[in-house]
Amino acid sequence: MVRENLFSWLDPMALLVPVGCTRLTVPLKTQVCPGRRLCPTISATLSLRPKAMDCVEETSSFFENDSRPIMLFDGVCNLCNGGVRFVRANDRQRKIRFEALQSESGRKLLRRSGREPDDISSVVLVEKDRSYIKSEAVLKIMEYIDLPFPQLAFFLHLIPLFVRDFVYENVADNRYNFFGRSDSCEI
């Protein structure tokens, strides 16, 4: 019975708030359950941090006149630059915008996404109300570009997230060794 109600307090809409812009407090209390056992109960509060609110407000202008998502990428990574060229070639309707992680705008969008402003370890896709990182960002980008990539993304979603992110992190950690670096960003 406790197991069924353990997460009943979780508001599904709370998951849409960018991770870096929230603080989730989960105090653990105990109470006596039927049969005189102690049962943990969980209550949660969701609040916006003042600094995090600033990062959302600071970047809201990026989506005022153009609601397209923004792909953040490592501007000096050859693999990332190749990924940007690939997305541009397969995004004939121009549904995605691009920004280097190292740019001032990229740093602000990273903060909005709950990442450190100098964290260039992952591609990030920032939508108006949500951000995606690692393999989730790659699959979401695939959903925006031309056929057959949205269908391929659908099937790749069947692979568990921890497996997809494990593969993603191994490639990301070795991207400079395998693909090299550029002196400057292409965009």
Q: What is the pLDDT of residues 76-87, one digit of tens each?
A: 888 998 999 999
Write down the pTM of the prediction.
0.69
Q: Which residue has the tokens 């990026």?
A: 62
The strand pair at 70-73 and 28-33 is best described as: unpaired
Residues 34 and 112 in one domain: no
Domain boundary among 48, 65, 85: 48
Q: Per the domain annotation, does 20 fall within a domain?
A: yes
Q: Per the domain annotation, does 113 fall within a domain?
A: yes
Give the pLDDT of residue 25: 41
Residues 105 and 44 in one domain: no
Domain that holds residue 39: 2-48
Residues 8 and 93 in one domain: no
Q: Per the domain annotation, does 103 fall within a domain?
A: yes
Give the total number of structural domains in the chain: 2
Closest alpha carbon to 7 in 45, 46, 44, 47: 44
Residues 59 and 12 in one domain: no
The packing angle between helices 50-59 and 104-112, to 10°, is 130
* Burial (0-12, 13-18, 19+ Cβ within 10 Å), 179: middle
Residues 17 and 55 in one domain: no
Q: Per the domain annotation, does 186 fall within a domain?
A: no
Strand (E) or helix (H) holding 88: helix 78-89
Residues 95 and 10 in one domain: no
How far apart are alpha carbons 187 and 181 in whole angstroms?
A: 15
The strand pair at 37-42 and 28-33 is best described as: antiparallel
Q: What is the CATH number of the domain that holds 114?
A: 3.40.30
Name the pLDDT band for 9 (thresholds 50, 70, 90).
Answer: very low
More confident site: 31 or 179:
179
Residues 123 and 86 in one domain: yes
Q: Which residue has the tokens 């920032």?
A: 126
Q: Per the domain annotation, does 184 fall within a domain?
A: no
Give the pLDDT of residue 186: 64
Residues 81 and 140 in one domain: yes
How far apart are alpha carbons 9 and 105 in whole angstroms?
A: 36
Q: Per the domain annotation, does 7 fall within a domain?
A: yes
Q: Per the domain annotation, does 187 fall within a domain?
A: no
Give the pLDDT of residue 31: 47
Residues 7 and 19 in one domain: yes
Give the pLDDT of residue 151: 96
Strand (E) or helix (H) holding 105: helix 104-112
pLDDT tens digits for 20-63?
444 444 444 444 444 544 444 444 444 444 555 577 777 888 89
Average pLDDT, the chain: 77
How far apart are alpha carbons 40 and 2 in whole angstroms?
A: 8
Domain boundary among 30, 48, 66: 48
Q: Per the domain annotation, does 27 fall within a domain?
A: yes
Name the pLDDT band for 107 (thresholds 50, 70, 90).
Answer: very high
How far apart are alpha carbons 152 and 103 in whole angstroms?
A: 31
How far apart are alpha carbons 46 and 104 in whole angstroms?
A: 29
**Cα-Cα-Cα-Cα dihedral sign, residues 9, 162, 152, 20:** positive
More confident site: 79 or 182:
79
Residues 26 and 100 in one domain: no
Name residues whose C-beta falls within 8 Å of residue 24's C-beta, 6 or more positions apart in sequence: 14, 44, 45, 46
Q: Which residue has the tokens 């909005």?
A: 112
Residues 84 and 161 in one domain: yes
Residues 68 and 126 in one domain: yes
